[in-house]
Structure 1
């Protein structure tokens, strides 16, 4: 991912995401960051980036208190089995969008021996609580996004994108938007719903009834990272095409670009199939250059890229 321009991030973006490092010499041009954010038992006021020169992976370290960890009554039946963060995507400047998932379970206390509670696992909540953050990896500043629709039960909104805008070209961003698309079935066919967070307002907004740009009456399966490119966000269905939109617009228009028929994949439905596909297929910004991506067995093959 590129780490351009966020060094001097504008104060207009957010009061909590103001500036990066004071010295440009400290800024790497780009980095490959591990998708899992590490939690640290620390009271540090900011996150930190353990930078490694590409092609080695850098790691984002989040102090646990900044990640808004779940709070369960130790005497109650509910416990947290897993709380972890994933870097979902980045803006073209390098701001990171993180999703933290709380997998909780019902484990009533069945006995107490020597002050130690013994519990029995009776149920796991598959509708996980989700908490999302925007992070400047250079300055370490972390901003918690409000809950979508006022609830943490938003695991269905998995593929989000983050886009920045600047008042002047090649200058630090002045604002950012986080957005997610979903399809909606009405009496006249399919339309789209966009939920977006604008840094200017600090709130989520729901835009309904966006006309579908899809050429066929079939659902689109958004299954890859949402890209920020050319002032728009791009949602990818590797078996069909790409839907794009400008989330800053008062009336976001949706556009559809069909992928070359020789490059599309089979339609995948299950999470496991998507995970396997993600190891071998990729759509990204290549600046028009040809590229190869290597699979886990070391074989080289062409990757798909969405170009400006």
Structure 2
């Protein structure tokens, strides 16, 4: 992920994700960051990036107190089983979106030995609490996003994106938006809702998203069995744009987590050299690797490369 432009994040954003960014000449142009954030027992006021030259992984180290850990009465039967953070995504210029999951359970005290309590785990709460943060990995600044719809029970809002915007080309961003797209459960069938957080307002908003034909360049949500949806989270009337995967690549929906994990081993979509690209590998010999790029007019996909991996491995 590129990291340069966030060094001078403008005052419009700095109200909630403060400025004060390093301008060291030794700053990295980009980094590969491990998806699991490491919590440290530290009173440091900021997170830190333990940088490693790519292709080695860098690690984001977060003092535990900055991660807003859950507070529970030590005499209560409610306990924290796991509290950990995952790097969900990044903006084009390096801001990180983190999600912390609080998995709790019931563990009554069954014995006391001196000052030590012995507990027995009797249940796990699968309706977990979520806390989300925007982080600048260079300055270590973190901003806790408000709870969506006023509740921490928002695990199902999993596919979020973060986008920055600048008034001047090739300049540090003036603002950022975090957005998630979901089907409108309370409205008409087939209608979608965007929940967005704007750095200018500091609040979540709920907007009805309309479906229209496709342009390029907004926030993208990917389903590697079906296609991609994009929308502009800065618009007060966000439109949804959809484009299907290349011909022959669309499959039946993959529902289960394990099936999704297996499918992700064979398919991937991402941005490279400023263009959206999709790659897939067939599951049978000769294991064909196909790479496609989204057309300039966003009307479809162009096959760029196709090679049999069995021939490559034989070299």
User: Shared fold (TM-score greater than 0.5)?
Assistant: yes
Separation of aligned partners in 2, 1:278 and 1:302: 15
Name the residue aligned to 2:259: 273
Relative to structure 1, the CA distance from residue 65 to residue 260 in structure 2 (aligned partners, 3 Å threshold; closer, same or farther) is same
Asked which structure has the greater RCO (Cα within 8 Å, sep 6+), the reply is 1
TM-score, normalised to structure 2's length? 0.84
Name the residue aligned to 2:101: 101
Secondary structure, counterpart of 1:273 in structure 2: helix
Deviations 1:174-230 (A, max 9, x none): 00000000012577531001110000000001113x234599xxxxxxxxxxxxx96
Contact 1:163 1:231 in 2 (8 A): no
Name the residue aligned to 2:210: 211
Separation of aligned partners in 2, 1:235 and 1:4: 25
Higher-Rg structure is: 2
The unaligned stretches of length 5 or more in structure 2 are 282-286, 297-315
Secondary structure, counterpart of 1:254 in structure 2: strand
Name the residue aligned to 1:219: none
Relative to structure 1, the CA distance from residue 67 to residue 230 in structure 2 (aligned partners, 3 Å threshold; closer, same or farther) is farther
Separation of aligned partners in 1, 2:295 and 2:64: 38
Name the residue aligned to 1:244: 230
Is residue 89 from structure 1 mapped to residue 89 from structure 2 by the alignment?
A: yes
Deviations 1:251-305 (A, max 9, x none): 11111111103334552111222233334422100124989899xxxx9945666
The unaligned stretches of length 5 or more in structure 1 are 216-228
Separation of aligned partners in 2, 1:45 and 1:101: 22
Name the residue aligned to 2:53: 53
TM-score, normalised to structure 1's length? 0.86
Match of 1:234 among 217, 220, 239: 220
- CA-based RMSD: 2.6
Separation of aligned partners in 2, 1:54 and 1:37: 18
Relative to structure 1, the CA distance from residue 116 to residue 40 in structure 2 (aligned partners, 3 Å threshold; closer, same or farther) is same
Shift of 1:51: 1.0
User: Bigger CA drift: 16-25 or 123-132?
Assistant: 16-25
Is residue 169 from structure 1 mapped to residue 155 from structure 2 by the alignment?
A: no
Separation of aligned partners in 2, 1:69 and 1:186: 32
Separation of aligned partners in 2, 1:158 and 1:254: 18
Name the residue aligned to 1:62: 62
Name the residue aligned to 2:124: 124
Relative to structure 1, the CA distance from residue 260 to residue 61 in structure 2 (aligned partners, 3 Å threshold; closer, same or farther) is same
Alignment size in residue pairs: 290
Separation of aligned partners in 2, 1:292 and 1:190: 29
Separation of aligned partners in 2, 1:254 and 1:114: 61
